[in-house]
Amino acid sequence: MDGRVPTRLLCGCIVTGLFAVAPLPRCEATSPEKPVTSNKGMVVSVSEPASRAGAAMLRRGGNAVDAAVTTAFSLAVTYPPAGNIGGGGFMMVLPKPGMQPVCVEYRETAPAAATPTMFSLTDSRLSPKMVGVPGTVRGLELAHATFGKLSWSTLLQPAIRLADQGFSVDASLARSLNKVLKDDKSLPFKEMRRVYAPPSGKAWQAGDRLVQPDLAGTLRRIAQQGADGFYRGPVAARIVREMQEGNGLISNADLDTYHANLRTPIHGTFHRYDVYGPPPPSSGGIVLIEMLNMVERFGLRKKGRWSPETIHLMIESMRRAYLDRARYLGDQDFVAIPKRLTTKDYAASLASKIDTQKATRSLVLAPEIPIADEGTSTTHFSVIDKQGMAVANTFTLEQSYGARVMVRGAGFLLNNEMGDFNWRPGHTDKKGRIGTEPNTIAPRKRMLSSQTPVLVLKDGKPCLITGSPGGRTIINTVFCVVLNVLEFNMPLPEAIAAPRLHHQWLPDQVRFAGFKLDRYQDLVQQLRSMGHRFNPKAGRQGDAHSIYVDAKTGIRTGVADTRISGKAVAAD
C-alpha cells in the first residue's frame, strides 16, 4: 500500500460550504466563537501571532502553502506546547478545484538503533530515549518545494522576528508555561526551565514577553540553508549531543537520511460529500471514513443530534473503527493494510451487527486479541488563500512540550513520539495499552498517529477544512465536527463549540467533553440503560480551528476553537 505520489503538482485550490442554521444544544461546551469572514484568504490557529504572520504572507502575495509554512514556523516560536521544529505531522493540500488532494507526510521515525522491546511499561515518557527523528522541517520544505510561491527565506522571517524580538504571551500560554515549569517532572530539564523562565522570576503573566534568541539563531540557519540547516551541521550535532548525554538513540545518520513523503490521501464519501484525510502512518483518515460509512446507514438527522439513539450509534461506530485501528494499522511502508476498511460494503457488515438498543462490550468484538489482566499535545491550523488553495495541517511534539528535552544552544524542544508505538508486543490491556503487531517498534519505522487534518469536498469543491489535537481523541473530535456540519447542518461556530464524545475500544468507556453528567441525567441514564459506561473525568477534548467558504457568495469564514486559545485572521 505505497501511497506516494509524484512530487511535481500544480498549485491552486478553493474552499466552499453550505450551512443551514441549526439551534445549538443547551449542553454546548463553549460559547460559539464570533466568526471572521473574508473574500480573500484566512488563517486560523491556536496562536494569534502565528495566524497574523500567516495572513500577512497571504497579503504579500503568497499562496496557502506559503502561509502554512510561515504559520507552522511561527507556532514553533509562539506555541511551545505543540508548535515545533522538533516534531512531525501531516499537511493536507488541495492543489485546485477538480484535482485530488495531496498529503505531505512528515511523521517522525524510529532511530536505526531502536528495537521492538526497548521500553518497559514503566519507562518515563520524558527522556531523550523517547525522541523520534524529527520530521517537521523536511516536511515543510517538501510542501514549499512542491507548491510554494515565495522564497523559503521570506517565509521564515516572521518566525525569526518573533523569536528574536519576542512576543506578548497570552493568558492561555502563561498558564501552560507556569504549569510545566512547576511540574516536579520538569526538574531534570534545566535547559527548558532556563529558556522558559518567567521574566519576573516568579510566574508568567498575560502580557509578559517571551524572547528566544537561541531559537532565532536556529531559524536563521534553516532560512539560509533550507532543511539541511537542521538535519546537518551544527544543529544536528547539538541534537546528537543531547542523545549521547541522555541515553537517546538518534545519530547523525538518522538525521541525514530522514525524508518526508507526498502520499495519496484516504478518500471516502459521506452522503454527497467527498472526505479526504491523511493515510498511514496516520490512522486518522481510515478510522474517520470507517465511522462515517457506518453512521451514514442510520439516518442520524431524523433521530436528532443529541438523542440517545444518535449518541449510541456514534459510540458503537467508534468502538468498531478503533478496534480495527488496533488490529491493522501501522506504517504502510512496513505493514500491509487491508483495503476493505474504507469500503461501504465493509461498513455495512459492521453496522449490521450493531445492536441499536444495547452497547456491545469491547472485549467481545476481539476474542483473537489476548487481553492482559492488570489493575497528549498537538496543534492544528487551517489556511485558504484568495485563489482558493486550501491547507489543513496538524503537527505535534506528542505530549505537551514533548520530551521536555531542550536542545542546548538551539532553543527548541524535541518530541517524545516513540511513545506512539506499541511498546510491548503482545500486551493489550483493558486500560487501553495496545500491543498488536502492526505498530510495534522497528528501525526507521514511522509510529502510528491519530492526526486527522481533513478536507471535505462537494461537487469537486471543498466545503470544510478542519482538524484537531488530542491524542487518540483527535479522530473522534473531527468525526463530531464533520457530523455537526454535514449531517446536522450546524453553522460552523456552533459545530465547533458543541460538546464532543470519545470511545476508543479500550478502555471500554465513553468520555463526554462538554456534557455535565449531573446536569444531563436523563440522557446519561438512557445511555447507561443501554449498557454504556462513562469516564466522569472527560476534561477538554480537541481544539478544532476550521474554515468554510459559502458556495454562493465565496465568502471564507474562519472559526477559532475557544477551548484553549486561538485566532482567525483574514488576509484583507
pLDDT tens, position by position, 518-568: 667 788 899 999 999 998 777 889 999 999 888 888 889 999 999 999 999
Lowest mean pLDDT of 353-362, 366-375, 432-441, name the range: 366-375
CA-based angle 356:361:364, to the nearest 5?
110
Residue 65 falls inside a structural domain: yes
Cell numbers describing residue 122: 514503566
Sequence-ordered list of residues with C-beta below 8 angstroms from that of 170, at least 6 positions apart, any chain: 48, 206, 565
Cell numbers describing residue 484: 455537526
Question: What pLDDT is attached to residue 26?
Answer: 45
Question: What pLDDT is attached to residue 371?
Answer: 65
Check whether 10 has a pLDDT greater than 90: no
- Strand, coil or helix: what is 29? coil
Residue 184 falls inside a structural domain: yes
Q: What is the pLDDT of residues 63-98, one digit of tens each?
A: 999 999 999 999 999 999 999 999 999 999 998 888
Q: What would the mean pLDDT of 282-290 be, rounded to a whole number?
A: 98
CB count, 10 Å around CB of 213? 12
Q: Which secondary-structure segment (H or E) carries 548?
A: strand 546-549
CB count, 10 Å around CB of 341? 21
Number of domains in the chain: 1
Residue 77 falls inside a structural domain: yes
Residue 450 falls inside a structural domain: no
Residue 399 falls inside a structural domain: yes
Question: What pLDDT is attached to residue 431?
Answer: 78
Which residue bears the cell 484516504? 266
Question: What pLDDT is attached to residue 233?
Answer: 98
DSSP letter at 40 equals S
CA-to-CA dists, residue 108 to 7, 258, 331, 375, angstroms: 20, 9, 11, 32
Question: Which structural domain, as residue segments, surrounds residue 55?
Answer: 44-118+127-263+393-423
Sequence-ordered list of residues with C-beta below 8 angstroms from that of 366, at least 6 positions apart, any chain: 323, 326, 327, 505
In this structure, which amino acid lies at residue 403? A
Beta bridge partners of 394: 90, 380
Check whether 376 has a pLDDT greater than 60: no
CA-based angle 552:556:561, to the nearest 5?
130
Sequence-ordered list of residues with C-beta below 8 angstroms from that of 117, at least 6 positions apart, any chain: 424, 425, 441
Global pTM reads 0.93
Cell numbers describing residue 281: 502512518
CB count, 10 Å around CB of 363? 13
Question: What pLDDT is attached to residue 458?
Answer: 86
Cell numbers describing residue 213: 534568541
φ, ψ of residue 114 to 5 degrees: the values are -70, 150
Check whether 33 has a pLDDT greater than 80: no
CA-to-CA dists, residue 406 to 42, 82, 119, 120, 302, angstroms: 32, 13, 22, 24, 52
Mean pLDDT of the chain: 91
Check whether 372 has a pLDDT greater than 70: no
The yes-or-no answer on residue 218 being catalytic is no
Check whether 16 has a pLDDT greater than 80: no
CA-to-CA dists, residue 180 to 86, 170, 512, angstroms: 18, 16, 26
Active-site position among 310, 378, 428, 473: 378
Q: What would the mean pLDDT of 502-510 be, rounded to a whole number?
A: 94
Residue 347 falls inside a structural domain: no
Q: How confident is the model at residue 3 (pLDDT cuts 50, 70, 90)?
A: very low
Residue 202 falls inside a structural domain: yes
